[in-house]
Amino acid sequence: MAKQTVHITNETGLHARPASEFTKMAAGLKCEVFLEKEGKKVNAKSILGILSLAIGKGNQIDIITEGEGEEEGLLKLVEFVNGLND
């Protein structure tokens, strides 16, 4: 398992469009991918799961990957989310 905490600083958070892109990216990975916010953990390959977390500006989320390619997958997903914060 690989895990990294990311702080959301962009104005709109992880709303529908970036959540959809994140889901597509996660779906392309062989490993399992989860997002966790305030103790609630969801499958990050599910757009509804991500949207149910209501990730907004100022939130802190954990990106968790498990299985084949977990380290590389984690780096890719963290880079994507951090890119939203620019």
- The pLDDT score that the predictor gives to residue 86 is 67
Element (H, E) at 56: none
- The pLDDT score that the predictor gives to residue 84 is 86
- The pLDDT score that the predictor gives to residue 65 is 98
Backbone angles phi, psi at 8, to 5 degrees: -95, 120
Element (H, E) at 67: none
Domain boundaries, the chain: 2-84
- The pLDDT score that the predictor gives to residue 2 is 98
- Is 15 marked active-site? yes
- The pLDDT score that the predictor gives to residue 78 is 97
Checking if the pLDDT of 85 tops 80, the result is no
Q: What is the CATH class of 2-84?
A: alpha beta
CA pair distance 7, 60, nearest whole angstrom:
5
Checking if the pLDDT of 5 tops 80, the result is yes
| Helix/strand/coil for 7 | strand
Q: Which of 2, 10, 15, 49 is catalytic?
A: 15
Element (H, E) at 60: strand 60-66
Distances (CA, A) of 86 to 9, 21, 55: 8, 16, 16
CA pair distance 12, 43, nearest whole angstrom:
21
- Give tens-digit pLDDT for 29-73: 999 999 999 999 999 999 999 999 999 999 999 999 999 999 999
